[in-house]
Structure formats: C-alpha cells, structure tokens
Amino acid sequence: MDATHKTQPGRIVILISGRGTNMEAIVRACATEGWPGQVAAVISNRGGAPGLAFARAQGIHTDVLDHREFRNRETFDAALAACIDAHAPDVVVLAGFMRVLGAAFVRHYAGRLLNIHPSLLPAFPGLATHRRAIDAGVKWHGATVHLVTPDLDHGPIVAQAVVPVADDDDESSLAARVLEQEHRIFPVAVRALLEGRLQVDGLRVRTLAVQGAAV
Ligand code: GAR
C-alpha cells in the first residue's frame, strides 16, 4: 500500500450524502493551495444532498446514484464503482458518505480510499459518535482520517484531531467543535495521499513532508 512520489496531476472523486462541508473544504484547499490535481467529480447517493449545489457552482461534475434504486448492496456498489471509475480517480474520498461499502468495493480502491470519521478511532466506530462520547464521559473527543479497509470505520490512521469535551457540551456543540477540526485535517490528508506522501506499514502511516522530509 506504499505510495511513491507522483509527478502527474491527480484526480480526486469525492462521495457525499449530505451537506458536504468536508467536500467543500477539500475543494477550496485544492484550488487555493494549488494542489497537483483536481476534484474531478462529486457523487452523492442522495439527490437532495445540499453539498451538490456547492460542487455544481464550482463547475465540478456531479452524479447522483440513489442506493434505493438498487436491489442490494452488491449491485449498488458495482454501479457506484463504475460511476467513480469513469473519472479515473487517483484518490477517492468518503466525505460524509453514509453508506457502508462492501469488501469488493473497498478492495478495488485499496490504498486510494480515504474516510473521515467523527471520533478518535478506534473509539466510537459507527453512528451517533458525539452522543456516545458525551455519555461515556470522555474528556477528549475528535476526528480521524483513515485509509479504508473492509472493516467498518477501521484502517491505517492518516490524521487525527483532538478537541476537549466541556462539562456543558451537548451533541451539537461538540459536533460543531469536531467539524471545525475535520475541515482542517481532511484536506491535509487528501493532499498527502494525492501527492504520494503516505508511507503505510500495517496500521501505521507516516506522512512525508512535501520535500520528502518526515513530519
Ligand atoms: C462529518 O462529521 C463526518 O465526519 C461524518 O459525517 C459528517 C459529514 O459532514 N461522517 C461519518 O459519520 C461517517 N461515518 P459534511 O457532509 O458536512 O462533510
């Protein structure tokens, strides 16, 4: 799963299900930081996903593939992969994509599929992470960007951000604090993968700096 430094411009495909603020952060960082690549497409499994409007306004190609129109996970995954592969991506990003993807799909994108999860994995995989963090009484919470493996919310960790949990936090105040950090770490991780600066050894990931020095 090791990536070498790349010289060709890379292509990013981003999958969303909802408001798409992480997608927005990646699109903006790609443009303003002059990444060696572009966001080639944004794909949603929900036609009404608010994030689609932002992508279209940026002139980014969008596709909608409604999972309810497929008879099972395998047929949806296969159609989704065909839709993604039409854009010849180097990096595929799950940015609030709320569908579990099957093992065959994940294997097809091994080493180029990134997910963001709103907890400090391996704590709180799955849903309702902020609620569960508050209920568990943790003092620190956060977000994780990881390479995707067939296991749910599991895989080599590329980046994490930590936020304190305040005594008076509720689910929405904690979610907002975590989301701010998601917008910071996700673009950094996507860019590093795009530029071939991730060295993966089992579950451990080392990110090389732009010049090749370890950070
Ligand atoms: C983000 O908080 C992301 O971490 C979470 O969904 C939200 C999407 O927000 N993802 C998951 O829970 C995946 N298991 P966004 O659409 O504004 O980027």
- Closest by CA to 201, choosing from 156, 144, 134, is 156
* Sign of the alpha-carbon torsion through 32, 36, 40, 45: negative
* CATH class of residue range 10-207: alpha beta
Say yes or no: CB of residue 142 within 6 Å of ligand 1: no
93-123: pLDDT as tens digits: 999 999 999 999 999 999 999 999 999 999 9
Q: List residues with catalytic annotation.
A: 117
pLDDT value for 210: 78
| Amino acid residing at 205 | V
Q: Where are the domains of the chain?
A: 10-207
Ligand 1, residues 179, 180, 183: which to mutate, most atoms within 8 A of Cβ? 179
In the chain, which residues have pLDDT < 50? 1-4, 212-215
State the CB neighbour count (10 A cutoff) for residue 29: 18
Answer whether 118 contacts ligand 1 (Cβ < 6 A): yes
Which atom of ligand 1 lies closest to the CA of 175?
2
Atom of ligand 1 nearest to the CA of 19: 16
Ligand 1 pocket, mutate which of 117, 153, 173 (most atoms under 8 A from CB): 117
Q: Which residues pair with 163 in a beta bridge?
A: 141
Residue with tokens 């932002």: 54
Judge whether 158 and 114 are in contact, CB under 8 Å.
yes
Output the 3-class SS for the chain. CCCCCCCCCEEEEEEECCCCHHHHHHHHHHHHCCCCEEEEEEEECCCCCCHHHHHHHCCCEEEECCHHHCCCHHHHHHHHHHHHHCCCCCEEEECCCCCCCCHHHHHHCCCCEEEEECCCCCCCCCCCHHHHHHHHCCCEEEEEEEECCCCCCCCCEEEEEEEECCCCCCHHHHHHHHHHHHHHHHHHHHHHHHCCCEEEECCEEEEECCCCCEC
- Looking from the CA of residue 116, the nearest atom of ligand 1 is 4
Ligand 1 mean position, distance from CA 204 (Å):
23
Question: Which residues lie below 8 Å from residue 109, measured CB to CB, with a gap of 6+?
Answer: 84, 92, 148
Residue 167 CA, ligand 1 centroid: distance in Å: 24
